[in-house]
Structure 1
Amino acid sequence: MQESAARLRASTALLDATLEHMDQGLMMIDEAGVVRVCNERAIALLDLPPELMRSGPDFDEVRRHQIAREDFARCDAALREQVARAPLSTHPYTYERERPNGTVLEIRTVPLPTGGAVRTYTDITARKAAEAQVAHMARHDALTGLPNRALFRDSLDQRLAALRRHGGTCGLLCLDLDAFKAVNDTLGHLAGDALLRTVAARIRACLRQEDLAARLGGDEFAVLLGGEACRRSAAATAERLVAALREPVDLGGREATIGVSIGIAFAPEHGVDSDALLRRADLALYRAKSEGRNTFRHFAAAMDQAAEERRRLELDLRLALQRCEFVLHYQPVHDLASGRVAAVEALLRWDHPTRGPLAPAAFLPLAEETGLIVPLGEWVLRTALRDASGLPPEVRVAVNVAGAQLRQAGLVSAVRAALAAAGEAPERLELDIAERAAEGAVAEENGRLADLAALGVGLAFDDFGAGASSLGALRRLPFGRIKLDRSLAASVTSPESTGLVRAAVALGRALGMEVTAKGVETEAQLARLRDEGCTGAQGFLLGRPTPFSALLPVLGGTVTHPGRRRSRSA
């Protein structure tokens, strides 16, 4: 008997120890509603008075104590009423609630066969915080903390659904940073990330509490205006954003300056569907970029027509590549010392089947935006080098290379293949790189230019003077020629432009580069450019762009058809 009693005491002690060291709180209530067991963990989790719980209280007495302490204040009304006043469930039941101190508990009730129940309390605060963090990350941009595209789209959908049911208006702003790529490429991705965080903070600072800002991706942002929207209030917001984002940003001792272009659309005026509204805000954004950047534009119906026209032109461009509708015209480039033609520049023309002849300005910007400039540029390269075989050996062929082509990893291979197919030496080819493309070139693109120079291809820094001409680009990149922008030739007789030309010639001489003037149209311009030291010139005065077959008079009878033996006329 004593042995059995000892075993019972040992078993009870073990059970008590187990209960007191459980990670879960545990409470057992008998069929009469009396709390028979309550471990220390339950007392701590529920912040209950130990003396009350050790006195064998009625379960309702425990709940009255919790109600008096407003322990259920963070529950919604229905749950608060149920857990605070309803009798113990006669079925297994689990729910979660947050205590006033922020602890989140998972509470499980398991009825006992004899009546009463066992209730366990598990602290799930950390788990719920982790779940909330995962949910937040799924709906927010990790870099800036702003809502991401998914959350913004859901918010816009909900706002438009409410607008369709109840009426009202809302305004949408689409933002795209100006010159961000140049900062990212020049200073590196870490600096670019820091810049985007600063941009996000400035956007937040410009908005009201009811406005929703989001990062849609890359350097694209959007704002959903809260409340009723009108053109004046939307414009005021856009003006604040433009002003804030044009301010310089300190990136670890290096200053960066960008801007922002903004498109604005309204519901229901411009649509009550998310896709339509976003598309029209994007069209207004595109107009802001095309009209100078660092500004904003409201959507107008004419923009839809322009977008449709652009879509048709893009389709026509793709078909034109397949149908070989493009032709090359050539403009002679004269050596001013000898008076002879030193090169011909290949200029693209498009004989559109319904619109007639189109100048490059009508389609090349679209070709570059859509990436079609890459296959189109390769066609120009192959065709110009094929035609070069019909020119005198001392006449080079100059081909323009767009920024999108320069960014292509296969540029050097394409040039090498075109030279091999035409059987021409690299020295016959000169590639003209526009100033804006050369200034924004990153390390990989600089490496491609170095590879082309090593191949023996000539490189010209084109349109020098059209923008903020970069001495750094001229010094670090393997250019052999500077081509002055045509605006300098047009105004060369003015003292200011004469000084610029003189400085460019001195710079070219210091760097060992030839200097060619473009856009020469009068004898006076030619004389001044020659006096200032330009070594080459091209323009309408010296020869208009002409098809290859018409080059014979220009080159003094030295042109043959590509692939035929060259001969000189008497």
Structure 2
Amino acid sequence: MQDIAVGGSTVSRTDILGQVEAVGVGSFWATDEEGRLVYLSAKALDALGGGGESLIGRPLVEIFSEVQQANGEEAQRTLGFQLRSHSRFDNMIVRVDVAGDDETGQRQTRWWRVSGKPYKDGNDRFCGYRGSSIDITAEYGRQLEAAQHSQFDPLTGLANRRRMGSRLSAMLTACKGAGRSCALVMLDLDRFKQVNDTLGHPAGDELLKQVADRLKTVIKDRGEIGRLGGDEFQIILPDIDDRGDLTGLAGRIIQMISQPYSINGKRAIVGTSVGVAIAPYDGVESDELNAAADLALYAAKGSGRGLCRFYTADLRESAELDSRIEENLRDALVKGEMRMNYQPLVSPHDHTVHAFEALMRWEPEDGRPVSPAKFIPIAEQTDLIVQLGGWALRQACEDAVQWPTQLRVAVNVSAKQFMNADFPKVVAAALAGSGLEPNRLDLEITESVFVGDVEAVDKTFAALKRLGVRLVMDDFGTGYSSLGYLNRAPFDKIKIDQSFVHGCTEGGTTNPAIISAIVALAKALGMETVAEGVEAMDELALVTERGADLIQGYIYSRPLTHDAIMERSGTENFVFPPSGPPRYRAGRMNFFRKIGVIHEDHYYKAMLRNLSRTGAWIEGLAGVPEGTDLILDLGGGQLAVSKVVRAAEAAQGLKFETALIGDGNDGLMTRHRVSPYALATAGMPLAALPAGSYPLAEQMSASRSPRKFFEVEV
């Protein structure tokens, strides 16, 4: 390095660099033409400790690792490109990792702000880089901490609402440009408030941390998880639109979160509900997709909690209807619009009735009856369920005391009603007011009552058993952790959920084994079993053979009015012969709605009469022979490829190439949906496309071959 003569003095360039470095301006480095580090100035070596020397001779791209920007967004990966193209770079933040010089040998990390310029000799030959660096470790650490607070939830370490919003917007922008998909999952915790109220807010915070850890276990690296606030979580899943896969993932989330938690030596349980929306089908902007996922979550909670629902276009209208139902339901008791019906529980051996289950009905004065499947979930989301449940308990006891003494009455109890501290007193008052013997009252309780403070649940159970009533676990096997509850709760009876009964005679199902296991477990614990939802003779034969004590379902009777039961009391005729179809048939939903049918390059309109997982029956097309391949347009991008397996004059029975899946609301849907842009690309007729602007529309002909079938008015 040449010296510089100034006046009568000579100054060494090396001395100048050392003096500049000493006053804190920065440090200096250099590479050779192969990009290997060949020089680090003294201050840099000192800052890096004994590990600094080990960097000499290594490629610069291995030493300088680019890092995230302080705001949490990913930095553009430009350093390698700059070095390969021999370009200048300025003020780039990099991470430098070196071996530690302490006894532990742990690596240490420093953050530098670096600038570099390519150096060329007199022949314009590239000879490497010459650059400077400033150690910003302390400053950058503060920036990272600030970024962590602005982008991440301090309690769980998950992304916060702000970060999730920016990530979703960025993902949707990428989806638009590349034709990709993105699923947005929303969930919140059922009964979380109960944990806070009974165990305290510190326990609630600890539970949220454990929930976050469980979500990480399920999701892994498939997407980003965020906590939006309170007990509300969100998951962004790029490049997933298979609703079958998403249903499975949601099921694992629900199962994982619903397992018991240990918090400060106490046991707590919460559940969760899941709503899913998928771009581009349910929205292409973040606000649209968030609103869609919120509506799906609301629908999941309204369907009974512990469920997953996908967004559909009619959910918005359904939410408005729910609001009106809630308003009218508040006045239903005052107006005397509530009724109780009773469905018998029958011995399969002599077909005699042992008990009746009380079922609430709502018959508004100025409208059609409202389904319990509609108004009960709405009532459960408010305190109305406590009011309605109290009325149902009193009414059922008043009715049952008039029946023959060998008949019991079973009353459903909601989790909110059960967890009310005064619930045992409400039961005692209903018994005293009606005069019904306590051993003639069965209280049917779902596993959701165990959510929250388990010790409080145990106290309520003990109080109820002191009254002398019988306790029944309803919907066994569908909740949170059934076997654990049977060990601690004093149940007298288990009801096998109808989801295990339906289809139990079909080949390839494990339901018969599950039914046998539940019956064996109940007998070992001295409990009765009831098989719910039996509708066909083959189902009746199977559950009887597997040992169920009582049967409930349409095979014996639909729910009866109190007056109908009293008529039988006069004749003491409580034998109900079974009556139903000989074999179970996969559930087919009856429809009377228009759908589209695509054949070759033509689009027809037809009437959908019924629909199952494996096929459908349509009417409205004439001249369609068996073996014809058709595509059903079920709406919302749902296309079902099918083959005609039965043909009548203007009706066809279809078998689907790929079975439909459940939509979480007793409906069916396709696993995948087809974007209208994909339809246009595939050359589908314009009539098959929803309203909108399609770039390829001008290139498509409305018809390329003669129509082969005729539409018939149905």
What band does the TM-score fall into relative to the shorter chain?
0.5 to 0.7
Alignment partner for residue 413 of structure 1, among 419, 422, 425? 425
Contact persistence 1:199–1:245 (CA under 8 A): no
- Aligned match of 2:215: 199
TM-aligned CA deviation for residue 437 of structure 1: 5.5
CA–CA distance in structure 2, aligned partners of residues 419 and 397 of structure 1: 12
Q: Deviations over 1:485-533 (max 9, x none)?
A: 4466666778976665555444333222233344455777667766665
Alignment partner for residue 390 of structure 1, among 388, 402, 406? 402
- Aligned match of 1:356: 368
- Aligned match of 2:59: none
- Give the direction of change, closer, same or farther, for the CA distance of 1:308–1:374 in structure 2 (3 Å limit): same
Contact persistence 1:242–1:260 (CA under 8 A): no
- Aligned match of 2:526: 512
Note the 1:322-341 alignment, pairs <5 A.
Answer: 322-334=334-346, 341=353
The answer on 1:476 being equivalent to 2:488 is yes
- After TM superposition, the score normalised by the length of structure 2 is 0.47
Alignment partner for residue 227 of structure 2, among 215, 226, 229? 215
Alignment partner for residue 444 of structure 2, among 429, 432, 448? 432
The answer on 1:308 being equivalent to 2:320 is yes
- After TM superposition, the score normalised by the length of structure 1 is 0.57
CA–CA distance in structure 2, aligned partners of residues 543 and 345 of structure 1: 12
CA–CA distance in structure 2, aligned partners of residues 345 and 241 of structure 1: 32
TM-aligned CA deviation for residue 558 of structure 1: 7.3
CA–CA distance in structure 2, aligned partners of residues 294 and 520 of structure 1: 23
1:175 alignment partner AA: V
- Give the direction of change, closer, same or farther, for the CA distance of 1:440–1:473 in structure 2 (3 Å limit): farther
TM-aligned CA deviation for residue 481 of structure 1: 1.8
- Aligned match of 1:552: 566
TM-aligned CA deviation for residue 458 of structure 1: 0.5
Contact persistence 1:517–1:537 (CA under 8 A): yes
Contact persistence 2:185–2:274 (CA under 8 A): yes
1:263 alignment partner AA: V
Note the 1:517-556 alignment, pairs <5 A.
Answer: 517-520=531-534, 533-556=547-570
Contact persistence 2:282–2:292 (CA under 8 A): no
Note the 1:80-91 alignment, pairs <5 A.
Answer: none
TM-aligned CA deviation for residue 287 of structure 1: 6.2
Identity %: 33
CA–CA distance in structure 2, aligned partners of residues 234 and 519 of structure 1: 35
The answer on 1:175 being equivalent to 2:185 is yes
| Higher mean displacement: 548-557 or 215-224 | 215-224
TM-aligned CA deviation for residue 428 of structure 1: 2.7
Unaligned 5+ segments in structure 2 are 1-15, 29-89, 92-132, 196-202, 263-268, 574-714
TM-aligned CA deviation for residue 279 of structure 1: 2.5
Q: Deviations over 1:334-361 (max 9, x none)?
A: 4567865432221111113455123322
Contact persistence 1:459–1:479 (CA under 8 A): yes
1:358 alignment partner AA: V
- Aligned match of 1:562: none
Contact persistence 1:144–1:200 (CA under 8 A): no
- Give the direction of change, closer, same or farther, for the CA distance of 1:268–1:315 in structure 2 (3 Å limit): same
Q: Deviations over 1:205-233 (max 9, x none)?
A: 445xxxx86311355333689xxxxxx85
TM-aligned CA deviation for residue 459 of structure 1: 0.8
TM-aligned CA deviation for residue 399 of structure 1: 0.3
2:521 alignment partner AA: L
- Give the direction of change, closer, same or farther, for the CA distance of 1:283–1:238 in structure 2 (3 Å limit): farther
CA–CA distance in structure 1, aligned partners of residues 560 and 250 of structure 2: 49
Contact persistence 1:438–1:461 (CA under 8 A): no
1:461 match: secondary structure: strand
Alignment partner for residue 401 of structure 1, among 394, 413, 416? 413
- Aligned match of 2:276: 263
Alignment partner for residue 157 of structure 2, among 120, 145, 154? 145
TM-aligned CA deviation for residue 452 of structure 1: 1.3
Contact persistence 1:263–1:288 (CA under 8 A): no
Contact persistence 1:385–1:422 (CA under 8 A): yes
Q: Deviations over 1:297-351 (max 9, x none)?
A: 5x55433223223333333333434433211012233456786543222111111
1:549 match: secondary structure: helix
Contact persistence 1:314–1:367 (CA under 8 A): yes
| Higher mean displacement: 372-381 or 143-152 | 143-152
The answer on 1:374 being equivalent to 2:390 is no
Contact persistence 2:188–2:233 (CA under 8 A): no
CA–CA distance in structure 2, aligned partners of residues 417 and 458 of structure 1: 16
Q: Deviations over 1:165-184 (max 9, x none)?
A: xx9999986434599989x9
- Give the direction of change, closer, same or farther, for the CA distance of 1:179–1:342 in structure 2 (3 Å limit): same
- Give the direction of change, closer, same or farther, for the CA distance of 1:537–1:137 in structure 2 (3 Å limit): same
CA–CA distance in structure 2, aligned partners of residues 395 and 432 of structure 1: 16
Contact persistence 2:534–2:553 (CA under 8 A): yes
2:570 match: secondary structure: coil
Q: Deviations over 1:133-168 (max 9, x none)?
A: 689657742222234346767x59999xxx9xxx99
1:196 alignment partner AA: A
CA–CA distance in structure 1, aligned partners of residues 184 and 532 of structure 2: 39
CA–CA distance in structure 2, aligned partners of residues 339 and 245 of structure 1: 38
- Aligned match of 1:347: 359
Contact persistence 1:204–1:213 (CA under 8 A): no
Q: Deviations over 1:95-151 (max 9, x none)?
A: xxxx965599xxxxxxxxxxxxxxxxxxxx9xx999996896577422222343467
- Give the direction of change, closer, same or farther, for the CA distance of 1:361–1:391 in structure 2 (3 Å limit): same
| Higher mean displacement: 377-386 or 399-408 | 399-408
Contact persistence 1:246–1:259 (CA under 8 A): no
Contact persistence 1:350–1:357 (CA under 8 A): yes
Question: Between Structure 1 and Structure 2, how many residues are aligned?
Answer: 434
- Give the direction of change, closer, same or farther, for the CA distance of 1:213–1:553 in structure 2 (3 Å limit): closer
- Aligned match of 1:86: none
1:332 match: secondary structure: strand
1:433 alignment partner AA: I
1:199 alignment partner AA: L
Q: Deviations over 1:182-205 (max 9, x none)?
A: 9x99xx975762441463588694
Contact persistence 2:471–2:490 (CA under 8 A): yes
Q: Deviations over 1:81-103 (max 9, x none)?
A: xxxxxxxxxxxxxxxxxx96559
Q: CA RMSD in A?
A: 5.9
Contact persistence 1:261–1:295 (CA under 8 A): yes
CA–CA distance in structure 1, aligned partners of residues 553 and 242 of structure 2: 47
2:363 match: secondary structure: strand
| Higher mean displacement: 342-351 or 436-445 | 436-445
CA–CA distance in structure 2, aligned partners of residues 528 and 65 of structure 1: 89
1:555 match: secondary structure: helix
Greater percentage in strand: 2
1:328 match: secondary structure: strand
1:463 match: secondary structure: strand
Q: Deviations over 1:426-477 (max 9, x none)?
A: 2231111236666999343243223212221101223346679834332321
- Give the direction of change, closer, same or farther, for the CA distance of 1:320–1:367 in structure 2 (3 Å limit): same
Greater percentage in helix: 1
Contact persistence 1:234–1:264 (CA under 8 A): no
- Give the direction of change, closer, same or farther, for the CA distance of 1:396–1:67 in structure 2 (3 Å limit): closer
